[in-house]
Amino acid sequence: MNQDEFGFRVRQALNDGAERLDYRTVLRLEQARRQALGRQRRAGPATVRLPALQLATAGAPPIDSGGGAWGWLRGAGLVAPLLALAVGFVAISHWQEELEIQRLAALDFAVLLDEGPLEAYADQGFGVLLQAEQRADR
């Protein structure tokens, strides 16, 4: 028997032995394989990630937006603070307007309840008299 023939017969025996591995060993090998596949290195075109606020201009490298739900969330993250700011401005404006209305209403109410005639408030001399009285009280 020559060397190759002998090698072939040993190979058959070794294959036979490898096929008869016990269940636990086979399972462990499968687990190891799955774990390794989970870490497989992938080669592909390199994408450039830019911060969300940095917009791409003509000639700039393509932006990897992330895509899908994450991309949408990232967009929402940019828009949400601006929206909150606008809503805040409108609310403050409304609040100031309301305060002004209340102040004017209180003034009108005070004028109506006052015993003095309405024309007196339009009289320049009456205003001067009131200021003089206030100064005297102090």
Partner 1 sequence: MATREELSEFLAGVERRAFKQAVFAVRDESHALDIVQDAMMKIAEHYGDRPAAELPLLFTRILQNATHDFFRRSKVRSTWVTLFSALNPDAEPDADPLETLEASGDTRTESTETSYEREQIVAIIEEEVAKLPARQREAFLLRYWEDFDTAEAAAAMGCSEGSVKTHCSRATHALAKALRERGITL
Give the residue with the Cβ less far from partner 1, 9 or 103: 9
Stretch that binds partner 1, among 21-29, 88-96, 99-107, 124-132 (CB under 8 A): 21-29
Interface with partner 1, residue 135, by CB under 8 A: no
Rule CB under 8 A: which of 48-107 touch partner 1? none
Q: How far apart are CA 108 and CA 114, in angstroms?
A: 10
Q: How far apart are CA 91 and CA 96, in angstroms?
A: 9
Beta carbon nearer to partner 1, 47 or 93 = 47
Structure tokens at 10: 């040993």
Nearer to partner 1, 17 or 59 (CB): 17
DSSP state of 10: H
Counting other chains too, the contacts that 102-106 makes at CB distance below 8 Å and 24 or more residues apart are none
Binding piece for partner 1, criterion CB under 8 A, among 14-22, 81-89, 93-101, 107-115: 14-22
The residue with tokens 């490298």 is 61
Dihedral sign, CA of 29, 16, 10, 8?
A: negative
| 31-50 footprint of partner 1 as x/- string (CB under 8 A) | -xx-xxxxxxxxx-------
Name the minimum Å distance from CB 69 to partner 1.
24
Alpha helices by DSSP H, listed for the chain, are 3-19, 23-38, 68-113, 118-122, 124-137
Q: Point out which residues bind partner 1 (CB under 8 A).
A: 1, 3-4, 6-11, 13-21, 25-26, 28-29, 32-33, 35-43
